[in-house]
């Protein structure tokens, strides 16, 4: 089937109490790993591309890799999404360039400015049959080399969501309830806890509306260990506990964003193979193992965290 938007995916996910995984893609191995896992488990999936991914791999290469994945996995719905579009121009470029969904992330601007920027993107995207995600509240962490310090992050204010959704016409909303981007989400020694009270207040304000959770990697400690035992230095890398993500998936959260866990799986595989075989220099020897780890991460998320297994049927 051709690329789809997220409209139908989110409607079913909301009603069914599960979430769709949105996984970041940067190269062929990652596209293959995600879509093979989703294909085998009959799960709908969102492939998302950041500005950094477009800079690294080139828009056309990424779109064509995703088109290849559609041919290889014709039975599952796949959406192609722009992750953290910083302005109208990058959103327009992705709408014009074959994406079915874009995120306009104007969350760093004041509320009214966020509304204006988002509305402009929504009008253009909807005219072209593309759906739009926006963000209210600020996540801590790193995106495209922009670091938002924990003290500059802020939770989404539930009293703002209704006006934002009404005035912008946006299709889904990313909120800040304690997640952050990257592999260092919580201070060591503290108990990681998402603000489900804020999420539930938001749900009440905009019933039936799909919510998105960014920064939702769990930072699997087995991969952190392999990386550190094979020359890496990831000290105190901590993610979101998976039971909290499962709880989020059962709520109005219809899209859960995961990138760092894929990076950890890939890096652990590559580091392990190269330490064990210092004589290897064929990229296929180590990328095969890295890709298998990414596939295992995605399969685990679909089955044990998101609950989207079998939902493509």
Residues noted as catalytic: 83
Contact call for residue 58 and ligand G3H (CB under 6 A): no
Nearer Cβ to ligand G3H (50/100): 50
Listed residue (149, 14, 22, 20) closest to 84, CA to CA:
22
Please report how many Cα atoms fall inside a 13 Å half-sphere around the Cα of residue 251, on the Cβ side.
22
Structure-token pair, residue 19: 């979430």
217 binds, among ligand 13P, Zn ion, ligand G3H, none (CB under 5 to 8 A by kind): ligand 13P
Q: Crossing angle of helices 260-276/221-229, nearest 10°?
A: 40
Q: Minimum distance between the CB of residue 83 and ligand 13P, rounded to whole angstroms? A: 5
Which 211-250 positions form the footprint of ligand G3H (CB under 6 A)?
none
Question: Which option in ligand 13P, Zn ion, ligand G3H, none does residue 144 bind, with CB closer than 5 to 8 A by kind?
Answer: ligand G3H
- The per-residue b/e assignment along 96-133, b for 16 or more CB within 10 angstroms, e otherwise, is eebbbbbbbbbbeeeeeebbebbbbbbebbeeeebbbb
**Interface with ligand G3H includes 259 (CB under 6 A)?**
yes
Q: What are phi and psi of 191, to 5 degrees?
A: -95, 115
Alpha carbon distance 63, 192 (integer Å): 36
118 is written with which tokens?
A: 């988002």
52 binds, among Zn ion, ligand 13P, ligand G3H, none (CB under 5 to 8 A by kind): ligand G3H
**What does 216 bind: ligand 13P, ligand G3H, Zn ion, none (CB cut-off 5 to 8 Å by kind)?**
ligand 13P
The residues binding ligand 13P (CB under 6 A) are: 24, 83-84, 181-182, 214-217, 257-260
Tell me if 114 contacts ligand G3H by CB under 6 A.
no
Contact call for residue 271 and ligand G3H (CB under 6 A): no
| DSSP bridge partners of 171 | none
- Nearer Cβ to ligand G3H, position 62 or 202? 62
Tokens found for residue 48: 């998302």
Reduce the DSSP state of residue 144 to 3 states and report it.
coil
267 binds, among ligand 13P, ligand G3H, Zn ion, none (CB under 5 to 8 A by kind): none
Give the bridge partners for 136, in sequence order.
175
Interaction mask 37-56, ligand G3H, x per CB under 6 A:
-------------x-xx---
Contact footprint for ligand G3H (CB under 6 A): 24, 50, 52-53, 83-84, 143-144, 181, 259
């Amino acid at each position: 089937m051709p690329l789809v938007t997220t409209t139908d995916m989110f409607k079913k996910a909301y009603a069914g109490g599960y979430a769709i995984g949105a996984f970041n893609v940067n190269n062929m191995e990652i596209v293959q790993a995600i879509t093979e896992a989703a294909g085998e488990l009959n799960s709908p999936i969102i492939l998302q591309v950041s500005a950094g991914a477009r800079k690294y791999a080139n828009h056309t290469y990424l779109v064509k890799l995703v088109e290849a994945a559609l041919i290889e996995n014709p039975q599952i719905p796949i959406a192609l999404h722009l992750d953290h579009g910083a302005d109208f121009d990058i959103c327009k470029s992705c709408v014009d360039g074959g994406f079915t969904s874009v995120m306009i992330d104007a969350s760093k601007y004041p509320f009214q400015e966020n509304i204006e920027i988002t509305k402009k993107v929504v009008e253009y995207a909807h005219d072209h049959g593309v759906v739009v995600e926006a963000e209210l509240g600020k996540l801590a962490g790193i995106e495209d080399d922009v670091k938002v310090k924990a003290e500059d992050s802020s939770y989404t204010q539930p009293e703002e969501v209704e006006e934002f959704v009404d005035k912008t016409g946006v299709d889904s909303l990313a909120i800040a309830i304690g997640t952050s981007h990257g592999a260092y989400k919580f201070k060591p020694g503290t108990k990681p806890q998402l603000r489900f009270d804020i999420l539930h207040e938001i749900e009440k304000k905009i019933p039936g509306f799909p919510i998105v959770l960014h920064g939702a990697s769990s930072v699997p400690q087995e991969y952190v260990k392999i990386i550190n035992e094979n020359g890496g230095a990831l000290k105190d890398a901590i993610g979101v506990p998976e039971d909290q993500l499962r709880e989020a998936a059962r709520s109005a959260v219809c899209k859960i964003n995961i990138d760092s866990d894929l990076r950890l799986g890939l890096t652990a595989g590559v580091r392990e193979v190269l330490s064990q075989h210092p004589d290897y220099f064929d990229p296929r020897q180590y990328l095969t193992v890295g890709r298998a780890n990414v596939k295992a991460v995605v399969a685990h998320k679909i089955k044990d965290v998101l609950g989207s297994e079998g939902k493509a049927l």
